[in-house]
A and B are shown apart, each in its own frame.
Chain A
Amino acid sequence: MSISIRNISKQFGTFQALDDVSIDIPSGELVALLGPSGCGKTTLLRIIAGLDYADRGQILLDGDDASARHVRERRVGFVFQHYALFRHMSIADNVAFGLRVRPRRERLAEAEIRRRVKRLLELVQLDWLADRFPPQLSGGQRQRIALARALAVEPKVLLLDEPFGALDAKVRKELRRWLRQLHDEIHVTSVFVTHDQEEALEVADRVVVINKGKVEQIGTPEAVYDHPATPFVANFLGSVNLFHGRVEDGHLHLGEHALALGAGGGSEGRAVAFVRPHEFDLVPGWHADGGLPARILRVAAAGPSAQIEVSRVDGEVIEVTISRDAFQLLGLAEGDQVSLRPRHIRVFQAEALAA
């Protein structure tokens, strides 16, 4: 089922939680709503589910306006951040709940319900836990049960609120890979909320970046990472180095140094520029012909890449990441002079940052 979010606005008192948000999610896609905490992403998810309502705007499910439809009739699956498993019911009863509360004439036979519960528990690979109770399960297991319970009613849409937020790092990584596989198996339109950019970029087909109640950018993980539309997106996705300067005749001027900007280097005037740590080339020594002169402060070379902290002449610290092999070939040490040559600079007019 496709989801269309049309001009949704929502206020809590004087706080503007969502401001004219529009997103189209095609059927079968897995979409991440990504943003810092308090940006309105969870509110948007709850509005899609019908757990909250919008002050303005519409939610279309498969083209039909669902705004007036009660949450019970929307046929969405919702996975809560803290799972909201029914404490006093066994795992099997939890999963069966949505099937058992149906009106009598639509209800499946008990044997069929049990069959389906068993299948779902197998799907989430936890059929051996059917008779346990939620407090006896680990966080990751609860999460998967919550998912099985949501899938039991065969929802047209699956909504997940910070699905991995309460788990520790290792389990989180496992589970998100598993969620991606599961989605590829069942292909139900899915939206999940997260504040973790790594998670969004790894799992989702498309990422919606939200900040202060507004959509900043919608695109594939590659698109939002490589071509951020706004300074916020550039800053929020991955680590990034920030430069304040001026754009004049195709160059970014930073103090007395200038960096050439390729074609279409941006409009003239005060600007901020972003360069990711891995987008620098490092050249030993200071060179007049180009690159920012700097000095190596610290090197952390454990792992596949070397994290290098360099300081510019004015003292500003810049992070650079290059492969460990490349770093060893350069033969640099802490305290050495280097020139930084960015391969890729993203420039935004300075006013855009304030917005």
Chain B
Amino acid sequence: MIASVAFRNFKALRSTGLALSPFNLVIGPNGSGKTSLIQAVLQLHNLARLPLRQSGAETERRPEGAEITFRFSPPYDGLEASLGCVSDTMCDLLQVIPLSTGEGVDDWAGLRARLLTVRNYMFEHTAIAAPSSDRDYAELTLNGGNLATVLSARRIHHPEEFARLAAELFRMMPEYDEIEFVELPGRLIDLKLRLADTAEWVVAENLSQGTLYVLALLTLVFDPAPPAIICIEELDRGVHPRMLREMRDLLYRLSYPKETGSQKPPVQVIVTTHSPYLLDLFRDHPEEVVITEKHGAAARFTRLDQCADLTNVLSSGSLGDLWFSGVIGGVPEEK
């Protein structure tokens, strides 16, 4: 979907860029631009909703104002999207520029339709565990707060997809064998899981953080109409290190659907993490790891597969340990 993004003066991203893969794991110290990358994608999503405007119209711009430039993969590689910003954090202008080569030069409408589906998630277990309004079923909200309603609606409208989700949940967490929904006063819906051993029901507020996050992730993965791009911040939060392999595998189903026999269109995935255990899982796919670094006030991106002498570096330890050691970068500056 997004082939590359280049930044100028956007927050700490003064002059940097990176090529994006179908799957992208972004690692780096706090304040190094991981979230800024996701915010840039969201700015593109937000501005794509509006009619295209001409540069310089209505808004006075600083010459040194922030600019973010996106290129896309086929069938939209004939277009470039440039975001102009009134400050180093707020973009208000989207220009779509046809390129001399590539497909889709005349298909901004098609690209726009895909960009409008972009979703960003920062799951919060307390929000996920709370009952949600029965009217809020269209798509999972940023913090996962309407999970019960979305899943309840999915069971009614997409029973096959719901059954696949439930089967995957029970495989990953064999302590449960049933999922059910409860209607509460005030048009609220709650969810509960049944313990396989005792047949007791566990309501959402008593489920572990990790269970709730896994449920939220499964809800995205088994979406009957997946978005073009999903961004997830802190994928590892609340999840046991050994469960991270399953989390990665779930997201790979989105990015590489054909490899699991799915006919769904691929979803570009951008996730951030601070977990060396999650990073360990990308030893064979260094091209999927983006390292953010901050030097002084400026941050920049590099890809792990661009690391000098990577083969020898990888021979000396696990990726997570190498990251912590500072060998591959992506660690806080120390003065």
Partners in one complex: no
B interface residues (Cβ-Cβ under 8 A, vs A):
none
A interface residues (Cβ-Cβ under 8 A, vs B):
none
